Amino acid sequence: MVNVRVLLCALAAQTALALHPVDHPIHEGHGLASLGEPDKPIRQTTYPSVMLHRESNEKILKHIDIERMNETMSTLTYLNNRYYKSATGVQASDWIFEKVKRYSGTFKIQRFRHSWPQRSIDVQISEGNGAKRQDKRVIIVGAHMDSVNRFNATGEAPGADDNASGVAVLLEALYLLLRDQKTKHFTNQVHFHFYSGEEAGLLGSKEILQQYAKDGVDVVAVLNQDMTGRGDTDPRMFTMITDYVYTPLNNFILEVVKSYTKFGVKEWACRYACSDHASAARNGFPAAFISHGEIAETATDYIHTTNDTLEHINYDQMSEHVKLVLGFVLELGFADFAAAPAATQTETQTETQTETQTETQTETQTETQTETNAHPKTQTGTQTEEPYEEVTEAVTETKTGTKATGTPAPKTTADTDDF
């Protein structure tokens, strides 16, 4: 196992430690953001009513590894905080990026450039082969990487549950999907997002998903994982958030839960734009948000404090979240979605809030796309730059003997298991 202290010290040496933290937190609420009604109505989408791929994916579910998740949790919570304007926030993003680059499989990983230093990360694991290149349907699973201390924005904020747990869940699901290789047969594109700046107002997800909307990306489903690590009560449950969501997608997720997990589901309303799923809804994308079963009871007593630590984490709870993400991706990856209708009807439960513009507005211009869903350049004055600062194509050696290019994943026992 990689020595966490050595790795973080190495990353720190590469990080711009002269970054100036802000003096005050943006807010004390959990991801509170001034989001108004969607710019576009939510895309009308029909989801599978029967789970077709559960039995054929029994092996992948059995390979969920608590130790891999614990390594992620230990690394991210070891940092003083993951505040989006801090040097340690940049270290967290860099660590996630480098970790994914070492995975086996075929994927494309990109870092999204923001006006603040912590980059968001976009990992595409499937090109999709069920439609013409300009007609792809896109599935997104996302989690935010940043943390914050409600009393001091740059103070200690281990953020174990909120949201190192969500990052660990996505990394484990991503690792298993890439090892399994079924992704190359998916009908639809699948992206894993790791968002920056959620605690400051959903900033990272807002910018990425706005870019997707501007590019005309046909997003058919977004699943947000935020706070997945607490599970001390019986019966064990997921919490399904009921605002800023798309009801048909929630109904589909209920079927995934029944088929792929051993948990039940209870509903809860945040009553504000409490996490990154709201950014999807704001841009007309069908979204859902699933958290652990105790969010309503514990959301205010430890999050955004020094008490959000590993000792409160339940890895059995997190393992069920991994199963949920795997089921979500495996079922929708193969689903046959119709093209978006010309006229759609909003089916989301939102609250009207005035949107405050805190960042300089940018203009986008369309350029010739050289690959599926290529992102146009952002034009600011006379300077043109891509919102994605780099693209890493990774094709590493797998059990079928694919020729290795890029950086191969380290050979471990888990890597050699035959799914």
Rounded CA-CA distance 228/247 in Å is 21
**Of residues 326, 334, 332, 415, the one with CA closest to residue 60:** 326
What confidence tens digit (pLDDT) does each residue in 103-160 have? 999 999 999 999 999 999 999 999 887 656 557 899 999 999 999 999 998 899 999 9
**Tokens 């209870």 belong to residue:** 266
Can you read off the two tokens belonging to residue 358? 């805190």
Positions in the chain short of pLDDT 50:
1-35, 343-384, 397-418
Q: Which residues pair with 266 in a beta bridge?
A: 239
Can you read off the two tokens belonging to residue 308? 């959000």
Q: pTM of this prediction?
A: 0.79
For residue 372, the model assigns a pLDDT of 35
**Of residues 204, 208, 270, the one with CA closest to residue 243:** 270
Task: Name the residue type at position 409.
Answer: A
Rounded CA-CA distance 419/414 in Å is 10
For residue 390, the model assigns a pLDDT of 67
For residue 83, the model assigns a pLDDT of 97
Distance of CA 169 to the CA centre of its chain: 9
Mind listing the domains of the chain with CATH numbers? 32-355+375-407 (3.40.630.10)
What confidence tens digit (pLDDT) does each residue in 165-187 have? 999 999 999 999 999 888 889 99
Burial of 340 (0-12, 13-18, 19+ CB in 10 A): middle
For residue 278, the model assigns a pLDDT of 92
Q: Give Dmax over CA atoms of the chain in angstroms.
A: 59
Rounded CA-CA distance 198/275 in Å is 7
